[in-house]
Amino acid sequence: MAKINPDFKDELKKYGAFDFNACYNCGHCTAVCSLSTPEDSFPREMVRLSVLGLDENIQTSLKPWLCYYCGECSETCPRQAFPGELMMTLRRWLTAKYDWTGLSGLLYKSLSLSILFFVLLIAGVYYFAVSEQFNVEKIMHIGHYFEMFAIIGVFSIIILPNIIRMWYFTIVKSGYKIKFNTYIKKFGELIVHMFTQKRALGCDDNQIRWFEHLILVIGYLALLFTTVVLDWFGTDNDFIIVLGYVESALIFIVTFIFIFERSKKTTELSSHSHPSDWFFVIWLFLMGLSAFFVRIFIDTGLIHQNLWMYLFHLTVLVQWALIIVPFGKWTHFLYRSFAMYFDALKKTK
Amino acid sequence: MKNKIGVYICHCGGNISDYVDVEKVRDAVKDIEGVEISVDTMFACADSSQKQIFNDIKEKQLDGLVVASCSPKLHYPTFSAVAERAGLNKYNYVHANIREQVSWAHSDNKLGATEKAIQAVKAAIAGVKESISLEPIKIKSQKIVAVIGAGVAGMRAAKELADLGVKVYLIEREYFVGGRVAQLDYLCRVQETGKELVTRMYEAIHKHENITLFTGAEIIEKGGSIGNFKIKLKITPRYIKKDCNEDELKKAIEVCPVEVDDDFNFNITKRKAIYKNYPSEYPQKPAIDIKNCTRCGECEKVCSSIDFNQKEEILDLTVGSILTATGFDPYRPKENEFGWGLDNVVTLPQFRRIINMCDDKLIYNGKEIKEIAYIYCVGSRQVDGENKYCSRYCCTATLYTSILTHKKYKNIHAYHFNRGIRTYGKQEVIYDEVSQLGDIFLQSYEYDPATVEKQGDKTIVKVKDILTNNTEIEVEADLVVLVTGMEPRKDNSIGDVLKIPKGRDRFYNEIHMKLRPVETVIDGITIAGACQGPKNILESVNSALSAATKSYSIVNTGELALEPIIASVNEDTCTWCGLCADACPYDAIELINKNGKDIAEINKSVCKGCGMCLPVCESDSIEMSGFTNNIIENMISAYADI
């Protein structure tokens, strides 16, 4: 027994969906989807649940994460209901549902609130720089520590509880009892999907998109490792320095392509951009680019006269680490891989 | 007796001549007495062959024609037309089928086939010898059409006929015109209300010198036949004087103490015994519903225009054709059918009236309505009931109604419990529009329809939604709207008076679904609009115009030419047993008394020449022109070589 909630679609529209109510359930979208299978059939089912407002069923479903958005469903839809964009919206909505703080939802729904947070963090970084009297060494030192603590803090306080919530909704609440052994046995799925996104290869559109994405993920994780663990900005090791240059360059080149595609709306998947999508690609781009220049400034000895360069990088980093990573689009990196992991667990039944 | 007969035997390319020795057939019949020429031809139907037959008839002065070729279904009309063009009466032409009945049937036996073909042609020659020239039966026709029903179809047809110069009697049973359309407010896809449409039509017919409108009028008897129907019209008076005082009449309505259910609003409101359905209704005079009037006299005290002395009138009219546009009744749900009987369950027609009456807030039974559940196919596409048909108009009407509610009131949520939406043709855009508005569609199979039940003071509609994997889904509704289909009029007495046959669906039946959609088997009576089957306004008007044209074609020249192949009675031998009248499917045979003797008489304008009366006649007193006993017997003899 399920009760219709007609207001749910208004809620979803705040997360970016539109016109999905036009759906007349022909199922074209599901038929053309190259990832949809008889066991995991989407997107029509998700469109239907969204139209009826059966949010409980969506919350316990992993299907939104099983879609890698090639956009073919939206292109084929005879009613222009944009099922692909709805799936994207449901991922935002799920991200907000998993987030125990509730901040995620607020930021997704309100652009002005997001901007306010970004501005507050700019002020915070400036205040910090002033209180440290613009001491380059000290600021860069603390900046390095911030990275480490931010990673640990955000992961343990926000992300880990949220993943546990995701597990609770999708496994426990939807009635699955899975043996501990199975969790161990299937753990490989998580790692494989996290580092390869191999499921995206099943999308019909093109393999270039998957490759760009793979480069970005590897580049991003490697740069994270290089800056935090290998202390890129502090090291004298030539190999590490070059490695950092390569990684940051990869990031800003790939994200530049993404930004270009989104602004030109070259494909179906790049034609509908929610603010959170823009924040994600632009900040990644800025991070890669500013890190690149900070290291150039260090190598050319310009950094002491041009602390603003580092402060700019630090601001982008702080905004990234405190807004986009815990409450923004970054989390899809984890949720997607966990969804594949959980899906594999469910399939063992 | 014809003695200059032309015989043409067709090869049909090879279809015939591959199995039948056509030359042998030609030679076998050429010396028969009376045969002028016997010719074989590669394709008798080819232009050149037709020309040859034409020339032969002209030059050789042929008085009979036989073509032996394919089935008469295919080319009888071709060769009878050739005969006519050449000045030979077409009833002096006999067709022999030597393809379907000979060459194709006996492809395994060429000798036998040839022999049979020879006999078939001989029989045809024997038939043609005895054939008689016949002329169409001409009857006078009144240049008047009676249009029954002044709804949108009737009024449109009346206007069309009147514009073509035909006199029209427009006969309406109610006191006001407009029928079902008057009950509608905004109409889908036109920026007009039903009332505006009715007003426009009324003004057109009201001014028209060729149209006489009768209200409160019913046909109680029909006699005669095509061209000359005699109808008896019963007219119930309005009990209001001709020159009436409008202000006083308003007062009269106010003071009337009698309150009855208002049919016009589908019984959701009451009206007085002296009434008008809505202020600008046409004709503009109110009427007194005499069945419910108690004769208390209150109205007479305030109004001088009341006249209870008016009497029922009976008029005898003669018309050439009758156009029936008597419309439909909305289906009335049975007790408990989808919650029918609960205080917040209404039908779609009722809901349209409610919307019409509520301005900025949708209120029914004192409660504001926000959540509306529409249940489709109530009384249509029934699994158990007898209404197996789809009522066509309802999906579109409901979706359009939903658009109206969204436009007129705020925060309406609508749920459509349907069995598949059928907004066919151009109406699909309405479905699209409603989807965009956020209405929710739930679909079920016919054997598992939605249910409506009260839980405390809540009304819950439940359905196993096939679009959501058969999940049981429930909606709490403020108002349940049953989308009721169309049914034939409950009071369909006019159909019995006119003897219009009904189909299995109980609507009036046309002759042919596709090719003769507005004619009935009763010659001269046409049908239009929803009395024939569910139709929307556009379709009703379409059929009305088509029926008007058909009726016009009957009356326009003032004369009718009827097919002369009909039955006739031998007055000397007939002793009236009545068997023929029982066998006649067209009611064309009547008992008359001629010179003190009871005999059967055939109504020439009604008889269709079907021949059903012939075999039942024990005294063999009935002959069919064109197929007389003499002709048939001769043909049989020739066939059997006796």
pLDDT per residue as tens digits for the range A189-230: 999 999 888 888 888 767 888 999 999 999 999 999 999 999
Q: Which of A4, A25, A79 sits opposite B467 (nearest CB)?
A: A25
B 406-465 → A contacts, CB under 8 A: 413, 415, 421, 431-432, 435-441, 443, 465
Number of domains in chain B: 5
pLDDT per residue as tens digits for the range B581-592: 999 988 899 999
Residue B632 domain flag: no
B470 touches chain A (CB under 8 A): no
Q: Smallest Cα–Cα separation from B600: which of B565, B571, B566, B634?
A: B571
Q: Are residues B351 and B476 in the same domain?
A: yes
B468 touches chain A (CB under 8 A): yes
Write down the pLDDT at residue B191: 87
pLDDT per residue as tens digits for the range A240-298: 999 999 999 999 999 999 999 999 998 888 899 999 999 999 999 999 999 999 999 99
- Separation CA A97–CA A156 (nearest Å): 18
Distance of CA A39 to the CA centre of its chain: 26
Distance of CA B14 to the CA centre of its chain: 45
Q: Are residues B168 and B199 in the same domain?
A: yes
Q: Are residues B430 and B575 in the same domain?
A: no
Give percent above pLDDT 90 in chain B. 88
ipTM metric: 0.86
Residue in B with minimal Cα distance to A25: B467
Query: What residues in B contact A19, CB-CB < 8 Å?
Result: 436
Write down the pLDDT at residue A303: 86
Looking at CA atoms only, how far is residue B342 from chain A in angstroms? 22
Q: Which of B436, B443, B473 sits opposite A4 (nearest CB)?
A: B473
Give percent above pLDDT 70 in chain A. 99
Q: Which of B134, B157, B182 is the last residue of a domain?
A: B134
Question: Which of A295-304, B100-109, B400-409 is the least confident region?
Answer: A295-304
Contact B440 A6 (CB under 8 A): yes
Contact B431 A51 (CB under 8 A): no
Query: What residues in A contact B473, CB-CB < 8 Å?
Result: 1-4, 52
- Separation CA B402–CA B438 (nearest Å): 11
Write down the pLDDT at residue B344: 94
Residues in chain A: 349
Looking at CA atoms only, how far is residue A244 from chain B in angstroms? 51
Looking at CA atoms only, how far is residue A52 from chain B in angstroms? 7
- Separation CA B624–CA B613 (nearest Å): 10
Q: Are residues B106 and B232 in the same domain?
A: no
Contact A1 B440 (CB under 8 A): no
Contact A1 B421 (CB under 8 A): no
Mean pLDDT of all residues in chain A? 93
> Is A304 a residue whose pLDDT tops 90?
no
Contact B438 A19 (CB under 8 A): no
Write down the pLDDT at residue B204: 93
CATH number at residue B612: 3.30.70.20
Q: Which of A6, A24, A45 sits opposite B413 (nearest CB)?
A: A6
Residue in A with minimal Cα distance to B460: A3
> Is B361 a residue whose pLDDT tops 70?
yes
Residue in A with minimal Cα distance to B372: A6
Q: Are residues B598 and B536 in the same domain?
A: no
Q: Are residues B345 and B430 in the same domain?
A: yes
Give percent above pLDDT 70 in chain B. 100
Write down the pLDDT at residue A205: 66
Residue B638 domain flag: no
Q: Which of B498, B523, B555 is the last residue of a domain?
A: B555
Range of the domain at B583: 563-625
- Beta strand pairing status for B270-272 and B259-261? antiparallel
Residue B26 domain flag: yes
pLDDT per residue as tens digits for the range B368-390: 999 999 999 999 999 989 999 99
Residue B65 domain flag: yes
Q: Are residues B267 and B317 in the same domain?
A: no
Structural domains in chain A, sorted by start: 8-98 (1.10.1060.10), 110-347 (no CATH)
- Separation CA B440–CA A48 (nearest Å): 10
- How much is the average pLDDT of A73-90? 94
DSSP H helices in B237-322? 246-255, 298-302
CATH number at residue B36: 3.40.50
- A interface toward B at CB cutoff 8 Å? 1-4, 6, 9, 19, 21-25, 45, 48-49, 51-52, 54, 79
Write down the pLDDT at residue A2: 87
Looking at CA atoms only, how far is residue A105 from chain B in angstroms? 23
> Is A77 a residue whose pLDDT tops 90?
yes
Write down the pLDDT at residue A208: 87
Contact B473 A2 (CB under 8 A): yes
B 256-295 → A contacts, CB under 8 A: none
B 385-414 → A contacts, CB under 8 A: 413
Q: Are residues B354 and B477 in the same domain?
A: yes
Q: Are residues B280 and B318 in the same domain?
A: no
Q: Smallest Cα–Cα separation from B165: which of B553, B556, B558, B550?
A: B556
pLDDT per residue as tens digits for the range B536-550: 999 999 999 999 999
Contact B438 A54 (CB under 8 A): no
User: Please, what's the b/e burial string for A230-248 (b: 16 or more CB within 10 A of its CB; e: otherwise)?
Assistant: bebbebeeeebbebbbebb
B370 touches chain A (CB under 8 A): no
Contact A24 B436 (CB under 8 A): no
Q: Which of B537, B555, B573 is the last residue of a domain?
A: B555
Q: Are residues B162 and B101 in the same domain?
A: no
Q: Smallest Cα–Cα separation from B169: which of B154, B189, B191, B151?
A: B154
Angle between helices A136-153 and A307-319 (to 10 degrees): 10
Write down the pLDDT at residue B293: 93
pLDDT per residue as tens digits for the range A137-157: 899 999 999 999 999 999 999
The dihedral sign for the CA sequence A57, A63, A68, A73: negative
Residue in B with minimal Cα distance to A79: B432
Looking at CA atoms only, how far is residue B415 from chain A in angstroms? 9
> Is A106 a residue whose pLDDT tops 80?
yes
Residue B45 domain flag: yes
> Is A161 a residue whose pLDDT tops 80?
yes
Half-sphere exposure of B124 (CA within 13 A, CB side): 30
Residue B349 domain flag: yes
Q: Are residues B339 and B444 in the same domain?
A: yes
Looking at CA atoms only, how far is residue B166 from chain A in angstroms? 50
Please, is B152 exposed, middle or buried when counting C-beta atoms within 10 Å of its C-beta (0-12, 13-18, 19+)? buried
Q: Are residues B230 and B337 in the same domain?
A: no
B467 touches chain A (CB under 8 A): yes
Residue B577 domain flag: yes
- How much is the average pLDDT of A115-135? 94
pLDDT per residue as tens digits for the range B69-84: 999 999 999 999 999 9
Contact A25 B436 (CB under 8 A): no
Residue B500 domain flag: yes
Write down the pLDDT at residue B244: 79
Mean pLDDT of all residues in chain B? 94
Write down the pLDDT at residue B338: 96
